[in-house]
Structure 1
């Protein structure tokens, strides 16, 4: 399996598909507690249309190492930079889902856009997920405390509950549940080390990316479902648009947090159109 070692000795697994001679490359960052497999529909679609597509398993997740340290957004962004440098990628379009969207925002705020032309935030945790005095539309800390407690008590059952309910929107009466999607989400979640899964809850809840978004100087496409139960729409996408210099918002009506899985054709269409723009 292809992998490389970052500066602190952590081994990072990645996929590198499609046309290696393509002018641009699409680099995907996945959400919690998943891995690069969650992007397979988008990667397959774009690779079959002549693009080079790359996705890694974040440290602590999937087939990458499970280090005890470095489970924070700055290190996630640094790992992504080292992946791009390892493959010497240029003219990149970064695409991040959920926590991966936060990783993309922090990458651009921390490392700039010298190798990046465009970015896409999909159901992203941006700009700031936690409810605070200056972020009243956020989610109360008690919700995230309950996540950590559930991971400690019975992680396997908690991951079944999340996948069976709010993540895909299968708790909505109009949505038909896919047992395959539930199993896939659970499998990916259980491949993640418990330390990485537990600490990533802190990362996606408490990382404030408002200043990162202000620094981004490239076009950014924001994709979000207005029935997202994980990252509620009102506290996310509209607030992101207020901070971006060159942002475009596409709202998926009635859609859940799992846009790459539940709205495959729509997301693929938006990515391809944005690449060509």
Structure 2
């Protein structure tokens, strides 16, 4: 397996496909999944001539099941460790959900020349949880419910999420796709429970406002208008107003997992922005 070891001794699994002299596209997965969630997009961008890279976040997938460092600052440092180890420059970073927050935190702090563009899909920035500064955010009780369900029966919880709101299969007339559900469960159960428990706080309570304001490269936001996991009004509609060079595209009726349910549509939009 391809592994990068970070300064705190954590082993991070990554995939690296394609010509090493091609422009890199690096993918950042959502909670509680792994690099495997991007297989379709990696194959698509590979066929378009790019070098494609994706890693399993610490505590997830095939990376070490850490009980520390499961927060955004360390996640961004882990990304930097991989970028440095592979000597990557002019990288296009694509992040989904939690991975979108990871991209924002990393891109705001990256060394000059490392980041070319960012594309955030159904991403958590600027901040999800309700507070005095974010009064229309999501009540913390919902995230406490996530933590409770994970602690009581992670396997059942990881069946319920993809079977229902993640892909919109709970909507009237929707037809569940068992392969997507099973693959989501497989990825989730491969990771460590402690890291995934801690990551709920990382994706729900981290404030990315200053990160978004600091990013200078072009950013594309893609978001489903029927996202039940990261509601668009609490995320993309706010985030677009915080960046210097941003574009927002929304998809009526589509869910949080839109790049898996509608890959042809989303892949075309990602490629168009990458080439712009």
Task: Tell me the equivalent position of 1:81.
Answer: 80
CA distance in 2, matches of 1:20, 1:173: 46
Q: Does the aligned pair in 1 maintain the 2:59–2:70 contact within 8 Å?
A: yes
Would the alpha carbon gap of residues 73 and 260 (structure 1) be closer, same or farther in structure 2, given more than 3 Å must change?
Answer: same
- 1:216-227 alignment runs, 5 A limit: 216-227=215-226
Q: Does the aligned pair in 1 maintain the 2:226–2:255 contact within 8 Å?
A: yes
Tell me, yes or no, if structure 1 residue 246 matches structure 2 residue 274: no
Q: Does the aligned pair in 2 maintain the 1:38–1:260 contact within 8 Å?
A: no
Deviates more, 1:130-139 or 1:84-93: 130-139
SS of structure 1 residue aligned to 2:240 = helix
CA distance in 2, matches of 1:167, 1:115: 32
CA distance in 2, matches of 1:97, 1:185: 14
CA distance in 1, matches of 2:69, 2:205: 15
* Residue 114 of structure 1: how far off its partner (Å): 2.7
> Deviations 1:37-77 (Å, cap 9, x if unpaired)?
00011000010111100000000000000111111100000
Task: Tell me the equivalent position of 1:13.
Answer: 13
CA distance in 2, matches of 1:238, 1:19: 36
CA distance in 2, matches of 1:107, 1:200: 16
CA distance in 1, matches of 2:237, 2:29: 22
Cα root mean square deviation, aligned? 0.9
SS of structure 2 residue aligned to 1:242 = coil
**TM-score with structure 2 setting the length:** 0.98
Task: Tell me the equivalent position of 1:2.
Answer: 2
CA distance in 2, matches of 1:113, 1:66: 31
Q: Does the aligned pair in 1 maintain the 2:4–2:81 contact within 8 Å?
A: no
CA distance in 2, matches of 1:269, 1:193: 34
**TM-score with structure 1 setting the length:** 0.98
SS of structure 1 residue aligned to 2:17 = strand
Task: Tell me the equivalent position of 1:208.
Answer: 207
Task: Tell me the equivalent position of 1:34.
Answer: 33
- 1:258-277 alignment runs, 5 A limit: 258-277=257-276
Task: Tell me the equivalent position of 1:156.
Answer: 155
* Residue 85 of structure 1: how far off its partner (Å): 0.6
SS of structure 2 residue aligned to 1:93 = strand
> Deviations 1:130-153 (Å, cap 9, x if unpaired)?
011121221100000000000110
Q: Does the aligned pair in 2 maintain the 1:34–1:61 contact within 8 Å?
A: yes
Task: Tell me the equivalent position of 1:70.
Answer: 69
SS of structure 2 residue aligned to 1:243 = coil
Task: Tell me the equivalent position of 1:168.
Answer: 167
> Deviations 1:193-232 (Å, cap 9, x if unpaired)?
0001100001111100001000010100000000000000
Q: Does the aligned pair in 1 maintain the 2:34–2:187 contact within 8 Å?
A: yes
Q: Does the aligned pair in 2 maintain the 1:113–1:217 contact within 8 Å?
A: no
CA distance in 1, matches of 2:255, 2:83: 30
SS of structure 2 residue aligned to 1:7 = coil
SS of structure 1 residue aligned to 2:152 = helix
CA distance in 2, matches of 1:237, 1:218: 17
SS of structure 2 residue aligned to 1:76 = helix
